[in-house]
Amino acid sequence: QSALTQPPSASGSPGQSVTISCTGTSSDVGGYNYVSWYQQHPGKAPKLILYEVNKRPSGVPDRFSGSKSGNTASLTVSGLQAEDEADYHCSSYAGSNNFAVFGGGTKLTVL
Amino acid sequence: QVQLVESGGGVVQPGGSLRLSCVASGFNFRNFGMHWVRQAPGKGLEWVGFRRYDGRDEVFAASVKGRFSISRDNSKNTLYLQMNSLRTEDTAVYYCAKPWIREALDYWGQGTLVIVSS
Protein backbone atom coordinates (compact mmCIF):
# COMPACT_ATOMS: atom_id res chain seq x y z
CA GLN A 1 0.00 0.00 0.00
CA SER A 2 1.63 3.25 -1.13
CA ALA A 3 1.52 6.39 0.96
CA LEU A 4 -0.92 9.13 0.03
CA THR A 5 0.61 12.08 -1.81
CA GLN A 6 0.75 15.49 -0.14
CA PRO A 7 2.73 18.57 -1.15
CA PRO A 8 5.79 18.91 1.10
CA SER A 9 5.05 22.52 1.92
CA ALA A 10 2.36 25.20 1.86
CA SER A 11 2.24 28.76 3.08
CA GLY A 12 -0.02 31.74 3.57
CA SER A 13 -0.20 35.05 5.37
CA PRO A 14 -2.25 35.64 8.51
CA GLY A 15 -5.93 35.91 7.69
CA GLN A 16 -5.58 34.15 4.35
CA SER A 17 -6.81 30.70 3.42
CA VAL A 18 -4.64 27.79 2.36
CA THR A 19 -5.61 24.39 0.94
CA ILE A 20 -3.57 21.22 1.24
CA SER A 21 -4.27 18.27 -1.04
CA CYS A 22 -4.01 14.55 -0.34
CA THR A 23 -4.10 12.21 -3.32
CA GLY A 24 -4.62 8.49 -3.14
CA THR A 25 -6.30 5.83 -5.25
CA SER A 26 -9.68 4.20 -5.61
CA SER A 27 -8.52 1.66 -3.01
CA ASP A 28 -8.26 4.26 -0.30
CA VAL A 29 -9.29 7.93 -0.60
CA GLY A 30 -11.56 7.35 -3.57
CA GLY A 31 -13.15 4.22 -2.17
CA TYR A 32 -14.28 5.39 1.24
CA ASN A 33 -15.47 8.52 3.00
CA TYR A 34 -12.96 7.88 5.74
CA VAL A 35 -10.29 10.52 5.39
CA SER A 36 -8.76 12.16 8.44
CA TRP A 37 -6.39 15.06 8.99
CA TYR A 38 -3.93 15.60 11.79
CA GLN A 39 -2.04 18.66 12.97
CA GLN A 40 1.40 18.10 14.48
CA HIS A 41 3.53 20.76 16.13
CA PRO A 42 7.28 20.11 16.46
CA GLY A 43 8.09 17.52 19.09
CA LYS A 44 4.42 16.82 19.78
CA ALA A 45 2.06 13.97 19.03
CA PRO A 46 -0.39 14.40 16.16
CA LYS A 47 -3.81 15.88 16.93
CA LEU A 48 -6.94 14.81 15.06
CA ILE A 49 -8.59 17.85 13.43
CA LEU A 50 -10.90 16.27 10.83
CA TYR A 51 -12.41 12.82 10.32
CA GLU A 52 -14.83 11.30 7.83
CA VAL A 53 -13.61 13.88 5.30
CA ASN A 54 -15.19 16.97 6.84
CA LYS A 55 -16.22 16.36 10.44
CA ARG A 56 -14.48 18.19 13.26
CA PRO A 57 -13.88 16.72 16.72
CA SER A 58 -15.09 18.80 19.62
CA GLY A 59 -12.87 21.81 20.23
CA VAL A 60 -11.44 22.10 16.72
CA PRO A 61 -12.15 25.56 15.26
CA ASP A 62 -14.42 25.76 12.22
CA ARG A 63 -11.55 27.47 10.37
CA PHE A 64 -10.54 23.91 9.52
CA SER A 65 -12.63 22.27 6.82
CA GLY A 66 -12.31 19.28 4.53
CA SER A 67 -13.59 18.01 1.23
CA LYS A 68 -13.05 15.18 -1.21
CA SER A 69 -13.35 14.74 -4.94
CA GLY A 70 -12.52 11.41 -6.53
CA ASN A 71 -9.18 10.19 -5.25
CA THR A 72 -8.15 13.55 -3.78
CA ALA A 73 -9.06 14.96 -0.39
CA SER A 74 -8.34 18.51 0.71
CA LEU A 75 -7.86 20.39 3.95
CA THR A 76 -8.60 24.11 3.97
CA VAL A 77 -7.43 26.36 6.77
CA SER A 78 -9.23 29.71 6.69
CA GLY A 79 -8.27 32.86 8.55
CA LEU A 80 -4.71 31.64 9.06
CA GLN A 81 -3.26 32.27 12.48
CA ALA A 82 0.31 31.99 13.70
CA GLU A 83 -0.51 28.91 15.77
CA ASP A 84 -1.65 27.08 12.63
CA GLU A 85 2.01 26.74 11.61
CA ALA A 86 2.57 23.00 11.89
CA ASP A 87 2.83 19.79 9.92
CA TYR A 88 -0.44 18.41 8.55
CA HIS A 89 -0.94 14.73 7.77
CA CYS A 90 -3.83 13.07 5.97
CA SER A 91 -4.89 9.46 6.36
CA SER A 92 -7.44 7.22 4.72
CA TYR A 93 -9.08 3.93 5.48
CA ALA A 94 -7.75 1.38 2.99
CA GLY A 95 -9.92 -1.68 3.52
CA SER A 96 -9.86 -4.51 6.04
CA ASN A 97 -6.54 -5.97 4.84
CA ASN A 98 -4.50 -2.76 4.85
CA PHE A 99 -6.64 -0.72 7.21
CA ALA A 100 -4.97 2.69 7.03
CA VAL A 101 -2.52 4.70 4.98
CA PHE A 102 -1.01 8.11 5.71
CA GLY A 103 0.29 10.87 3.51
CA GLY A 104 3.86 12.13 3.66
CA GLY A 105 2.88 15.28 5.55
CA THR A 106 2.78 18.97 4.59
CA LYS A 107 4.64 21.69 6.46
CA LEU A 108 2.41 24.76 6.69
CA THR A 109 4.22 28.05 7.17
CA VAL A 110 2.38 31.19 8.24
CA LEU A 111 4.31 34.03 6.68
CA GLN B 1 -8.84 12.10 30.93
CA VAL B 2 -7.50 9.71 28.32
CA GLN B 3 -3.80 8.98 28.63
CA LEU B 4 -1.54 6.71 26.63
CA VAL B 5 2.03 6.22 27.83
CA GLU B 6 4.53 4.33 25.69
CA SER B 7 7.80 2.88 26.91
CA GLY B 8 10.44 0.39 25.87
CA GLY B 9 12.23 2.29 23.13
CA GLY B 10 15.99 2.33 22.82
CA VAL B 11 18.93 1.44 20.63
CA VAL B 12 19.06 -2.03 19.09
CA GLN B 13 21.27 -3.64 16.49
CA PRO B 14 19.94 -4.69 13.09
CA GLY B 15 18.36 -8.12 13.36
CA GLY B 16 17.55 -7.59 17.01
CA SER B 17 14.25 -7.47 18.87
CA LEU B 18 12.46 -5.00 21.08
CA ARG B 19 9.10 -4.90 22.84
CA LEU B 20 7.23 -1.65 23.31
CA SER B 21 4.46 -1.12 25.85
CA CYS B 22 1.58 1.32 25.96
CA VAL B 23 -0.35 1.79 29.19
CA ALA B 24 -3.82 3.26 28.74
CA SER B 25 -6.04 5.08 31.22
CA GLY B 26 -9.13 7.25 31.24
CA PHE B 27 -11.26 5.06 28.99
CA ASN B 28 -12.54 1.49 28.81
CA PHE B 29 -9.46 -0.02 27.18
CA ARG B 30 -10.98 -3.49 26.76
CA ASN B 31 -13.68 -2.06 24.46
CA PHE B 32 -11.29 -0.56 21.91
CA GLY B 33 -9.05 -1.94 19.24
CA MET B 34 -5.72 -0.11 19.38
CA HIS B 35 -3.18 1.05 16.83
CA TRP B 36 0.54 1.59 16.50
CA VAL B 37 1.82 4.36 14.23
CA ARG B 38 5.44 5.34 13.64
CA GLN B 39 7.30 8.37 12.38
CA ALA B 40 10.85 8.18 11.06
CA PRO B 41 13.01 11.22 11.82
CA GLY B 42 11.90 14.15 9.67
CA LYS B 43 9.34 12.03 7.85
CA GLY B 44 5.59 11.56 7.75
CA LEU B 45 3.45 9.19 9.76
CA GLU B 46 3.25 5.51 8.88
CA TRP B 47 0.49 3.25 10.15
CA VAL B 48 2.06 0.09 11.60
CA GLY B 49 -0.71 -2.16 12.85
CA PHE B 50 -3.94 -2.72 14.76
CA ARG B 51 -5.16 -5.22 17.34
CA ARG B 52 -8.87 -5.83 17.91
CA TYR B 53 -10.39 -5.05 21.30
CA ASP B 54 -10.71 -8.74 22.13
CA GLY B 55 -7.28 -9.62 20.77
CA ARG B 56 -8.71 -11.98 18.17
CA ASP B 57 -7.35 -10.29 15.08
CA GLU B 58 -4.49 -8.08 14.02
CA VAL B 59 -3.64 -6.28 10.80
CA PHE B 60 -0.23 -4.94 9.79
CA ALA B 61 1.34 -2.74 7.20
CA ALA B 62 3.20 -4.68 4.52
CA SER B 63 6.50 -3.15 5.67
CA VAL B 64 6.34 -4.92 9.04
CA LYS B 65 4.14 -7.95 8.37
CA GLY B 66 5.78 -11.15 9.57
CA ARG B 67 8.27 -9.28 11.77
CA PHE B 68 6.02 -7.35 14.18
CA SER B 69 3.18 -8.56 16.37
CA ILE B 70 0.72 -6.83 18.66
CA SER B 71 -0.65 -8.23 21.87
CA ARG B 72 -2.66 -6.79 24.71
CA ASP B 73 -3.38 -7.47 28.33
CA ASN B 74 -6.80 -6.05 29.05
CA SER B 75 -6.40 -6.75 32.77
CA LYS B 76 -3.44 -4.33 32.79
CA ASN B 77 -4.81 -1.86 30.22
CA THR B 78 -1.63 -2.44 28.27
CA LEU B 79 -0.87 -2.79 24.56
CA TYR B 80 2.39 -4.28 23.32
CA LEU B 81 4.33 -4.14 20.07
CA GLN B 82 6.83 -6.97 19.63
CA MET B 83 9.37 -6.06 16.97
CA ASN B 84 11.67 -8.76 15.59
CA SER B 85 14.26 -8.84 12.81
CA LEU B 86 14.64 -5.08 13.13
CA ARG B 87 16.06 -3.10 10.22
CA THR B 88 17.64 0.33 10.08
CA GLU B 89 14.51 1.59 8.32
CA ASP B 90 12.47 0.73 11.42
CA THR B 91 14.14 3.65 13.21
CA ALA B 92 11.29 5.91 14.28
CA VAL B 93 9.20 7.31 17.08
CA TYR B 94 6.49 4.77 17.79
CA TYR B 95 3.09 5.96 18.96
CA CYS B 96 0.16 3.99 20.26
CA ALA B 97 -3.19 5.52 19.44
CA LYS B 98 -6.85 5.06 20.30
CA PRO B 99 -9.36 4.95 17.45
CA TRP B 100 -12.31 7.33 17.16
CA ILE B 101 -14.09 6.17 14.03
CA ARG B 102 -12.61 3.69 11.54
CA GLU B 103 -9.03 4.84 10.89
CA ALA B 104 -9.34 8.20 12.69
CA LEU B 105 -7.22 8.25 15.86
CA ASP B 106 -8.34 10.68 18.54
CA TYR B 107 -5.77 10.10 21.28
CA TRP B 108 -2.05 9.50 20.92
CA GLY B 109 0.72 8.78 23.37
CA GLN B 110 3.87 10.88 23.54
CA GLY B 111 5.80 8.29 21.57
CA THR B 112 8.91 6.23 22.25
CA LEU B 113 12.03 6.39 20.08
CA VAL B 114 13.49 3.24 18.55
CA ILE B 115 16.90 3.46 16.91
CA VAL B 116 18.15 0.52 14.90
CA SER B 117 21.85 0.90 14.37
CA SER B 118 25.06 -1.05 14.57
User: What is the per-residue pLDDT across B66-116, written as a single tens digit (0 to 9) for each?
Assistant: 999 999 999 999 999 999 999 999 999 999 999 998 899 999 999 999 999
Q: Which of B105, B106, B112, B113 to mutate to test the interface with A (most CBs of A within 10 A)?
A: B105
User: What is the per-residue pLDDT across B24-56, written as a single tens digit (0 to 9) for each?
Assistant: 999 999 999 999 999 999 999 999 999 988 878
Report residue A1's pLDDT band, with 50, 70 and 90 as the boundaries: low
Closest CA to A18 of A90, A101, A109: A109
Cα B11 to Cα B27: distance, rounded to the nearest angstrom: 32
* A8-29: average pLDDT: 97
Cα A70 to Cα A61: distance, rounded to the nearest angstrom: 26
Distance from CA of B118 to the nearest CA of A (A): 26
Q: Tell whether A59 lies on the interface with B, counting CB pairs under 8 A.
A: no
Distance from CA of A76 to the nearest CA of B (A): 18
Say yes or no for a CB contact (<8 Å) between A45 and B61.
no
User: What is the per-residue pLDDT across B10-28, written as a single tens digit (0 to 9) for each?
Assistant: 999 999 999 999 999 999 9
**Closest Cβ–Cβ partner in A45, A92, A98 for B95:** A45
Distance from CA of A58 to the nearest CA of B (A): 11
Say yes or no for a CB contact (<8 Å) between B47 and A92.
no
User: How far from A5 is each of A22, A32, A92, CA to CA, in Å?
Assistant: 5, 17, 11
Of chain A, the end-to-end C-alpha distance in Å amounts to: 35
pLDDT at A72: 98
pLDDT at A97: 81
* A79-104: average pLDDT: 94
Say yes or no for a CB contact (<8 Å) between A102 and B110.
no
